[in-house]
Structure 1
Amino acid sequence: MRSVPLHLEPGSDLRQALEQLAVEQNASGFVLSVVGNLAQAAFQCPGKSIPTVLRGELEIITLQGTIAPEGVHLHLSLSDGECRVWGGHLEPGSRVLKGADLLVGLLDTAAQAPARTTAAPEPRVAIAVRSGCPFSRRALRMLRTLGIPYRLIEPSADGSVPQVFLDGQLIGGYDELAQRHGRGELEALRQG
């Protein structure tokens, strides 16, 4: 394992920075420590259908979970100005206020997974999202919850999001993804 320090400037998206680190390093790992604060926190509370968004000076208490090029699974706890503690699954849209410093542990390639005789197949699903888009968050959450591997792609400059592609073909946005799920058409895409 190697330790990688990560400094985030004001305005940085906490989740996207960790997703980007995993992709750039092509490595899996986990958050070892974090100090800093947020101007806005977006997190998914248990049992809620949409993320909770808090604004103000929010102190990060903990951030733990895993990161990988295929995606992240992170839990955030934070304190507001009244010392109330909040927490849940970290979502895109959590913006750094003054700064944040993280230490991320990345696993050596040999420790990431057992050796395979063949390369892992490319995920059949690709998705273009934008930070702050509630339908992008819902689509990503659906894919993660269902255990469907996906890769993030850049949205076109003028295109709506999310844009979901299956085997290279555009199937539509969140509504179309949800309809396919309702019809049981996503079962074959599950991992494992």
Structure 2
Amino acid sequence: MSNLKVHVLRLTPGQEVVGELEKYVSAQVPRGAFIMTCCGSVTSATLRLAADTNGVTNKIVKLSGHFEVLSLSGTISREGTHLHISLGDHQGAALGGHVMGDLTVFTTMEVVLGEALDVTLGRAFDNRTGYDELTITKDEREAAGTIN
């Protein structure tokens, strides 16, 4: 069981989402955070798409236009960020992938972050995957309720 603290943010037109979330987490959420929910709209996004049938994972698309954020999920720590997003266009078509950056707010971005108070999230290179992967460090003293 984990104790949870909730952080609610609103980003405004023109802000770059990943940079703003990383800045906030670095200053306010030293243990790292995870996205609980998000809604808003963007005018641009750079995404890495899912692997194709040959396992190739490096196709990157740059989107420009007006998109509704259908979902945003992932983790943010001082060591790195891992976010996935689903976007909807003006015809209702959806596209999603791994957020590479350039995620710029159109009208608003409402983000609710969760902070687990008895663990620290980080990232470390994993030889098996070739990527920096999530690390979870449990703070036994805090979990036992001895740190205020």
Verify the 8 A CA contact 2:31 2:119 in the aligned structure 1: no
Aligned pair count? Answer: 119
Q: Distance in 2 between matches of 1:99 and 1:106?
A: 22
Report the residue type matching 1:147 in the other structure: D
**Number of the residue aligned with 1:184:** none
Query: Match for 2:120 among 112, 119, 131?
Result: 112
Shift of 1:37: 0.1
Partner-residue secondary structure (3-state), 1:19: helix
2:44 matches 1:35:
no
Report the residue type matching 2:34 in the other structure: F
Partner-residue secondary structure (3-state), 2:19: helix
Q: Distance in 2 between matches of 1:16 and 1:145?
A: 24
Partner-residue secondary structure (3-state), 1:94: strand
Query: RMSD over aligned Cα, in angstroms?
Result: 2.2
Report the residue type matching 2:42 in the other structure: L
Normalising by the residue count of structure 2, what TM-score does the alignment of the two structures yield?
0.72
Q: Distance in 2 between matches of 1:38 and 1:6?
A: 16
Q: Distance in 1 between matches of 2:62 and 2:91?
A: 16
Q: Distance in 2 between matches of 1:6 and 1:95?
A: 15
Query: Match for 1:6 among 9, 13, 21?
Result: 9
Partner-residue secondary structure (3-state), 1:2: strand
Greater relative contact order: 1 or 2 (C-alpha under 8 angstroms, separation 6 or more)? 2
Normalising by the residue count of structure 1, what TM-score does the alignment of the two structures yield?
0.57
User: Runs in 1 of length 4+ with deviation above 4 angstroms?
Assistant: none
**Number of the residue aligned with 1:78:** 87
| Deviation sequence 1:123-173 (CA, Å, 0-9, x none) | 9xxxxxxxxxxxxxxxxxxxx943389xxxxxxxxxxxxxxxxxxxxxxxx
Q: How much identity, in percent, do the aligned residues show? A: 25
Query: Match for 2:110 among 93, 98, 101?
Result: 101
Partner-residue secondary structure (3-state), 1:81: coil
More strand by share: 2
